[in-house]
């Protein structure tokens, strides 16, 4: 497996950890590990043994200790750690010494030493192995590591929960969550964003199959676009798609509520109002004053979209709901004022839909694309990334998987919520990748002139991927009686 590093080794401390030979369930104290470029300290109380490893000021430190197990099976890794970076962001990446990736995760704040499981079981064969743990950012300490056989109780802690974050979740949402979790590492669900239905029809003509997920956008239901004559029609299309057995993911290119630039220049028209440069609307005024005109306009817009989401709810349709996407890029107005303002806006949106409108058909997909922009585990069901690597570049995107996993402390489902070329489904299957779905973008990425476009994914690769057993198409989805 190819090894990916999102962060340079100059910014990461590398730790190789292993349990004692012949013991699959033994605590390994820090002082029993061979240290390279890291220090064994004793200043902070509460550690066991003779000390702990500090990553606060040592770069490229690592520890090597091989572990062995007596039989093939699933094992869990437990870290006894302390993380005093309350106002910062620290995370850990876990892989084997051959580069095989296990998972990444954010470390919760903990002044005292406490235990946390690594958010994935590891499949290992009988014998000796070497585990590698990479410290992403500094400021945390490691006291000990334990490798144990996985029990049902442990497995429930280290895999994504089937319970959605919405307290109002409908049975259909719960069923879809259970399905997504059950398919993790067993298949990737195909998806296609639409501008028109030609985007999915050309795939069917080329492969004989439809993608499982239809990607829609609430853009034309934005009040500032409706004021200019826009009329949305994707809700109707979504209902037909679901009747034919498919699933729905929904984004919202939120046209700014007011103060559109509307100039005859590229990406500066009224219909470009979701772009930062195409509006002068300052949503931070709404955050500071809930009696302001800006706040009332934000609520007006959210309420307008709630009407459309309720229409889908009335048809018992669960939605993979991906609002405020790609925020950390700054090219959309909701990401133009930094992480803290984005997070506050995200929470307002969540609260309005969840607690005021009582919507019960949403699975919340976070897509700000930067772990420092994460609103919190209680607001997110799925962490996702949008990737456009270049024409006919078919990747597995493990670097982005690492990135989105480090956003959350809990294990979460992961998705490629937008892509240009299709991911390399064959390799994903070989590696049992945990990506839940992909959603190819519309227009030139799939269709030109009414026919399939090979510009981004050539026809031979499309057919190979769509006929691979790891890719799930619409006819293979069986939820809610479909």
Q: Is the pLDDT at 4 greater than 50, yes or no?
A: no
Catalytic residue among 294, 326, 354, 447: 326
Contacts of 298 (CB under 8 A, 6+ apart): 257, 283, 286, 345, 348
Q: Is the pLDDT at 21 greater than 90, yes or no?
A: no
pLDDT in tens, 421-438: 999 999 999 999 999 999
d(CA 211, CA 162): 24
Q: Assess contact for 16 and 77: CB atoms under 8 A.
A: no
DSSP assignment of 114-160, as one string?
EEEE-SS-EEE-SEEE-EEEEEESS-EEEEEEEEEE--HHHHHHHS-
pLDDT of residue 16: 46
Lowest mean pLDDT among 4-8, 67-71, 254-258: 4-8
DSSP assignment of 440-474, as one string?
E-SGGGTEETTEE--SSS-HHHHHHHHTSTTEEBG
Average pLDDT rounded to a whole number, residues 109-128: 93
Lowest mean pLDDT among 85-94, 117-126, 317-326, 431-440: 85-94
Q: Assess contact for 53 and 80: CB atoms under 8 A.
A: no
pLDDT of residue 31: 87
> 292 or 54: whose pLDDT is higher?
292
The torsion angle over the Cα atoms of residues 117, 120, 126 and 130, rounded to 10 degrees, is -70
Catalytic residue among 95, 294, 418, 447: 418
Calculate ∠ Cα 478-201-401, nearest 5°.
Answer: 60
Q: Is the pLDDT at 12 greater than 50, yes or no?
A: no
* Residue for token pair 């939605």: 319
The pTM of the full predicted model, rounded to 2 decimals, is 0.93
Identify the band that residue 60 occupies on the pLDDT scale cut at 50, 70 and 90.
Answer: low
Mean pLDDT for the chain overall:
91
Decide if 326 is catalytic.
yes
Burial 364-399 (b: 16+ CB within 10 A, else e): bbbbbbbbebbbebebbbbbbbbbeeeeeebbbbbb
Lowest mean pLDDT among 38-47, 111-120, 319-328, 387-396: 38-47
Residue 302 burial class via C-beta count within 10 angstroms: exposed 0-12, middle 13-18, buried 19 and up: buried
Q: Is the pLDDT at 14 greater than 70, yes or no?
A: no
pLDDT in tens, 259-307: 999 999 999 999 999 999 999 999 999 999 999 999 999 999 999 999 9
pLDDT in tens, 173-228: 999 999 999 999 999 999 999 999 999 999 999 999 999 999 999 999 999 999 99
Give me 334's structure tokens.
């909701």
pLDDT of residue 56: 62
Average pLDDT rounded to a whole number, residues 134-146: 84
Decide if 418 is catalytic.
yes
Lowest mean pLDDT among 70-74, 87-91, 312-316, 467-471: 87-91
d(CA 182, CA 437): 13
DSSP state of 291: T
């Amino acid at each position: 497996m190819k090894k990916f590093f999102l962060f340079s080794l100059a910014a990461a401390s590398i730790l190789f950890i292993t349990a004692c030979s012949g013991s699959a369930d033994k605590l390994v104290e820090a002082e029993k590990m061979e240290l390279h470029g890291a220090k064994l300290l004793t200043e902070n109380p509460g550690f066991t043994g003779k000390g702990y490893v500090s990553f606060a000021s040592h770069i490229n430190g690592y520890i090597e200790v091989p572990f062995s197990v007596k039989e093939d099976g699933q094992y869990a890794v437990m870290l006894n750690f302390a993380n005093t970076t309350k106002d910062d962001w620290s995370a850990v990446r876990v892989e084997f010494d051959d580069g095989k990736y296990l998972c990444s995760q954010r470390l919760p704040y903990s002044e005292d030493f406490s235990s946390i499981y690594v958010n994935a079981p590891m499949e290992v064969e009988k014998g000796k192995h070497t585990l590698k743990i990479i410290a992403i950012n500094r400021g945390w300490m490691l006291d000990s590591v334990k490798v144990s056989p996985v029990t049902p109780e442990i497995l429930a802690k280290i895999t994504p929960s089937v319970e959605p974050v919405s307290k109002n979740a409908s049975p259909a949402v719960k069923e879809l969550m259970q399905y997504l979790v059950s398919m993790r590492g067993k298949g990737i669900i195909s998806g296609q964003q639409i501008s028109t239905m030609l985007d999915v029809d050309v795939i069917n003509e080329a492969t004989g199959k439809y993608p499982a997920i239809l990607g829609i956008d609430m853009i034309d239901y934005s009040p500032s676009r409706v004021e200019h004559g826009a009329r949305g029609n994707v809700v109707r299309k979504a209902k037909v798609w679901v009747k034919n057995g498919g699933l729905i993911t929904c984004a919202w290119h939120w046209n700014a509520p007011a103060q559109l630039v509307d100039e005859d220049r590229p990406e500066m028209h009224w219909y470009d109002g979701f772009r930062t440069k195409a509006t002068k609307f300052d949503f931070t005024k709404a955050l500071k004053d809930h009696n302001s005109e800006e706040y009332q306009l934000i609520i007006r817009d959210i309420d307008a979209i709630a009407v459309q989401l309720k229409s889908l709810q009335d048809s018992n349709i669960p939605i993979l709901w991906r609002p405020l996407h790609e925020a950390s890029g700054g090219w959309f107005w909701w990401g133009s004022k930094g992480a803290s303002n984005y997070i506050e806006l995200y929470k307002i949106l969540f609260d309005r839909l969840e607690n005021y409108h009582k919507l019960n058909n949403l699975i919340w997909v976070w897509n700000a694309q930067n772990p420092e922009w994460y609103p919190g585990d209680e607001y997110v069901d799925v962490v996702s990334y949008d990737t456009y690597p270049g024409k006919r570049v078919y990747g597995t995107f493990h670097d982005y998987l690492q990135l989105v996993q480090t956003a959350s402390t809990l294990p979460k489902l992961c998705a490629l919520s937008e892509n240009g070329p299709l991911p390399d489904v064959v390799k994903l299957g070989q590696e049992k990748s945990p990506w839940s779905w992909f959603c190819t973008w519309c227009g030139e990425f799939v269709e030109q002139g009414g026919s399939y476009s090979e510009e981004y994914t050539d026809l031979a690769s499309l057919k190979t991927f769509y006929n691979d057993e790891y890719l799930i198409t619409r006819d293979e989805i069986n939820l809610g009686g479909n």
